[in-house]
């Protein structure tokens, strides 16, 4: 293993390069967000990450060749796989699903810009992760105003230490993110770095009137304003976004059953690779349906649909889930391929929905 020593000048150049790349990749970005990326280093929060090679996640650690270049690139860095942090992994690597990562910096910038954090705003972050985003929030709002929560004890402890060593002292709490953190509320701004289907009720309750909530909903970034009546409403950012789902206490994984039959389809699985359509398709799926790539699984009745080629879909269970994708495709094309930023989202303690209103005034509505 080759150990590379990086001096302060190299680190500064790397930070400048990342800030420039972030600014170039975002259509509109406030100068305050760009300055935050200039001032807050990323490398203290990602001393190790994984590279995936043939299904095996192999660790890359601080000081190794290529580490600094990748840390300061506009890319997602997987930092934990199946609960094993990259710093603790053996050289042979880890096989499994990523469980924590450092988000794509340009996506972080878009979300922070949408959050419109101002000095003195009280901020709640759900999903501490590495602590890097919390550090950026501290730069924008002031560390005393930032609360960040995550459900994983060791991850929270490490993030708290790294934030302290980097000169930031936000409130770092181990908590179930779906419950927010009522002791620190109400919050002027709430941001989530984990995906949800619905805005949790606790976030609505803990958001101050006229406050903002920015969170990944069904693979798109929703930006909602808290209304005087206790509800929140807003739109989606244009940029697609994939985040690990919010994990809550008591959840258990469900194994996807094997398909038992197949049929042909004119709507092949590659349509779900189109980020414009995939969001529209997800809106049509029942809340009990999970989608991983080209596989759909309804945990309620065990129905499954999985791609087996460009024109073949394998099915299992009592229902044909691929019919939903086919219907969604026809609807999307009939409405002239609406973009996610044209849709509105409304969230209340009981009901939540997404709407698309066509130029002619007709409305399509989905309940989340």
**Residue 114 domain-assigned?**
yes
Residue 225 and residue 131 share a domain: yes
Query: Which member of 20, 100, 101, 102 is catalytic?
Result: 102
Task: Answer whether residue 253 shows pLDDT above 70.
Answer: no
The per-residue pLDDT for 187 is 98
Q: What is the mean pLDDT of residues 289-294?
A: 89
Task: Answer whether residue 58 shows pLDDT above 90.
Answer: yes
Residue 61 and residue 18 share a domain: yes
**Residue 360 domain-assigned?**
no
Residue 191 and residue 147 share a domain: yes
pLDDT tens digits for range 154-193: 889 999 999 999 999 999 999 999 999 999 999 999 999 9
User: Could you tell me the pLDDT band of residue 232, with boundaries at 50, 70 and 90?
Assistant: very high
Which residues make Cβ contacts (< 8 Å) with residue 12, sequence separation at least 6? none
Quote the number of domains for the chain: 3
Higher-pLDDT residue of 275 and 234 is 234
User: Could you tell me the pLDDT band of residue 3, with boundaries at 50, 70 and 90?
Assistant: low
The per-residue pLDDT for 26 is 87
Residue 212 and residue 167 share a domain: yes
Residue 307 and residue 199 share a domain: no
Residue 111 and residue 94 share a domain: no
Which stretches of the chain are assigned E, i.e. beta strand?
A: 48-53, 56-61, 77-81, 84-85, 98-102, 123-126, 146-150, 171-174, 187-192, 207-217, 220-226, 232-240, 261-264, 289-292, 295-298, 304-307, 312-316, 344-347, 352-357, 363-367
Task: Answer whether residue 27 shows pLDDT above 80.
Answer: no
Residue 144 and residue 117 share a domain: yes
Name the domain boundary from 54, 76, 102: 102
Looking up residue 130, the CATH number of its domain turns out to be: 3.40.50.150
d(C-alpha 127, C-alpha 246), whole Å:
8
User: Could you tell me the pLDDT band of residue 249, with boundaries at 50, 70 and 90?
Assistant: low
Q: Which domain holds residue 222?
A: 105-240
The per-residue pLDDT for 309 is 83
User: Could you tell me the pLDDT band of residue 5, with boundaries at 50, 70 and 90?
Assistant: low
The per-residue pLDDT for 228 is 94
**Residue 252 domain-assigned?**
no
pLDDT tens digits for range 112-140: 999 999 999 999 999 999 999 999 999 99
The per-residue pLDDT for 100 is 86
- The yes-or-no answer on residue 102 being catalytic is yes
């Amino acid at each position: 293993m080759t150990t590379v020593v990086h001096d302060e000048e190299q680190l500064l150049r790397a930070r400048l390069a990342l800030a420039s790349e972030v600014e170039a990749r975002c259509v509109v970005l406030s100068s305050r967000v760009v300055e935050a990326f200039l001032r807050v280093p990323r490398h203290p929060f990602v001393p190790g990450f994984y590279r995936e090679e043939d299904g095996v996640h192999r660790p890359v650690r601080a000081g190794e060749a290529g580490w600094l270049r990748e840390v300061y690139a506009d890319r997602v860095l997987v930092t934990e796989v199946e609960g094993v942090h990259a710093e603790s992994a053996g050289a042979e690597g880890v096989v499994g699903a990523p469980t924590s990562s450092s988000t794509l910096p340009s996506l972080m910038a878009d979300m922070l810009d949408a959050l419109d954090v101002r000095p003195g705003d009280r901020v709640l972050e759900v999903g501490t992760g590495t602590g890097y985003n919390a550090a950026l929030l501290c730069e924008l709002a002031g560390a005393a105003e930032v609360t960040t929560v995550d459900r994983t004890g060791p991850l929270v402890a490490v993030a708290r230490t790294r934030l302290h060593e980097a000169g930031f002292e936000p409130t770092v709490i181990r908590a179930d993110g779906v419950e927010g953190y009522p002791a620190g509320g109400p919050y002027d701004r709430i941001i989530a770095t984990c995906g949800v289907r619905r805005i949790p009720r606790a976030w609505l309750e803990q958001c101050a009137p006229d406050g903002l909530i920015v969170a990944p909903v069904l693979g798109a970034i929703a930006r909602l304003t808290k209304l005087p009546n206790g509800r929140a409403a807003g739109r989606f950012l244009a940029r697609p976004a994939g985040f690990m789902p919010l994990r809550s206490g008591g959840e258990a994984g469900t194994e996807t059953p094997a398909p038992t039959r197949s049929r042909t389809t004119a709507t092949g699985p590659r349509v779900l690779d189109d980020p414009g359509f995939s969001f529209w398709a997800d809106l049509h799926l029942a809340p009990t349906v999970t989608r991983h790539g080209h596989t759909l699984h309804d945990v309620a009745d065990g129905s499954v649909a999985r791609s087996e080629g460009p024109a073949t879909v394998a099915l299992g269970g009592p229902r044909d889930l691929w019919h939903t994708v086919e219907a969604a495709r026809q609807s999307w094309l009939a409405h002239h391929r609406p973009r996610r930023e044209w849709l509105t989202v409304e969230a209340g303690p009981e009901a939540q929905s997404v709407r698309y209103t066509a130029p002619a005034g007709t409305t399509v509505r989905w309940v989340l």
